[in-house]
Structure 1
């Protein structure tokens, strides 16, 4: 007789319950806020409290701090990628629609809200930046940002000597708190710094940048 009921076929992974998915999302969001403010040493007990879950629930989803840190960074990268793709949609498939530089401007200011620079201290020697999901997400981000820059450049609105690595590195540095300053204080001034940087990206350029463009390949080269 054929089996009945709702048991998943052997070899398949049953879908997560909706409440488990919500708990996981809340934990990742709370951890992102805590890591951005207190660094990688943020209390896991505090993260569970912020997420409105018990410690056992946190550890059921994330057995150690490293696993949670990877999930936070992955979530931030994916959100920034979504912002880049939204900006691409705003300036049309080939640079039409909105001014490509204004779309780039909205992307940069939106990406800064993710406070990616505040997470940089977590990316130490023990952080696996080549973890497959994170590596794939990073490539999607770089592709979307590279296309956004290309459209602004083709429209004559972006200086010719700036590259993807220049932009991503600047967003990271300009959203990284100074020693002794927390993120809340940083946000009062980061908009000014980002605007100064964006004005420097506009074409025609009023200066010549020293050295070579920070391409993604150059940033990854070890020599």
Structure 2
């Protein structure tokens, strides 16, 4: 039956739910590890636990889908940078910032051991290394990036910067990572290459600001939700709810 005027088609609802679940799972798994309660994922995604189980019947399928989704998105942002940005250096920089937003350096290590990377890549439309290499080659040919820069210099810096600072308490962690990426990228530029006139993005942390914040960086993580896998506000040891009969209950927009 076609959707009534003003209603979202069920196929669109299903696609949106899947995207929200994968995005929420990526964030939860980075924060709490792959054993985090799946009802926490459902809550963050804004869907019922039954909807999550309909899309992903078990944890391993969800973990694998998150990894495939991240790698597919990485290939996509690299292709978008190739096609959409005429300046070779800016295209490479844009790709690096987009990859940083994907938190790939946090997601993939958090899920390590739950899949074989070679098998996983077979499910991804193209190896993300290829468009990144093409972006780098184009920037080097234009004389905008040092000739001795390799793909590993890009990939491993993204991995380093996408991991949260120790303790999980540092404010503006993501914004600071993008600032540091811009500083790093200026180091990749060829001698004499044009540098953008715009200054570095916020936050600017001077000596006084660092003195106020450094305790949050060096402090050990709290022995709480992240260490135990519990969710704030839930009793310790609250694991996945059993799919049970509720997993087949129809909810509005559940499919």
Give the TM-score normalised by the residue count of structure 2: 0.64
Aligned to 1:165: 152
Take 2:63 and 2:170, find their aligned partners in 1: how far apart are those partners? Answer: 18
Specify whether residues 194 and 35 from structure 1 end up closer, same or farther in structure 2 by C-alpha distance, changes over 3 A only: same
Count of aligned positions: 183
Aligned to 1:128: 116
Take 2:130 and 2:183, find their aligned partners in 1: how far apart are those partners? Answer: 25
2:23 matched to 1:35? Answer: no
Specify whether residues 140 and 126 from structure 1 end up closer, same or farther in structure 2 by C-alpha distance, changes over 3 A only: closer
Q: Which of residues 130, 152, 173 is equivalent to 1:186?
A: 173
Deviation (angstroms), 1:45: 0.5
Q: CA RMSD in A?
A: 2.4
Structure 2 residue matching 1:130: 3-state secondary structure: helix
Deviation (angstroms), 1:154: 0.5
Take 2:126 and 2:169, find their aligned partners in 1: how far apart are those partners? Answer: 30
**Contact conserved, 2:21 with 2:45, CA < 8 A, in 1?**
yes
Aligned to 1:49: 43
Aligned to 2:141: 154
Q: Which of residues 98, 103, 122 is equivalent to 2:91?
A: 103
Take 1:28 and 1:155, find their aligned partners in 2: how far apart are those partners? Answer: 38
Deviation (angstroms), 1:138: 7.6
Deviation (angstroms), 1:67: 1.4
Specify whether residues 137 and 204 from structure 1 end up closer, same or farther in structure 2 by C-alpha distance, changes over 3 A only: farther
**Contact conserved, 1:88 with 1:148, CA < 8 A, in 2?**
yes
Take 2:179 and 2:25, find their aligned partners in 1: how far apart are those partners? Answer: 27
Aligned to 1:8: none
Take 2:34 and 2:151, find their aligned partners in 1: how far apart are those partners? Answer: 27
Take 1:186 and 1:169, find their aligned partners in 2: how far apart are those partners? Answer: 18
Take 1:106 and 1:150, find their aligned partners in 2: how far apart are those partners? Answer: 15
Structure 2 gaps of 5+ residues are 1-9, 193-255
Deviation (angstroms), 1:127: 2.9
Cα shift readout 1:14-45 (whole Å, capped 9, x = no counterpart): xx944333322221122122223323233200
2:108 matched to 1:141? Answer: no
Q: Which has the higher contact order (CA 8 A, sep 6+)?
A: 2
Take 1:27 and 1:181, find their aligned partners in 2: how far apart are those partners? Answer: 23
Take 1:73 and 1:23, find their aligned partners in 2: how far apart are those partners? Answer: 17
Matches within 5 A, 1:17-96: 17-91=11-85
**Contact conserved, 1:109 with 1:194, CA < 8 A, in 2?**
yes
Deviation (angstroms), 1:81: 1.7
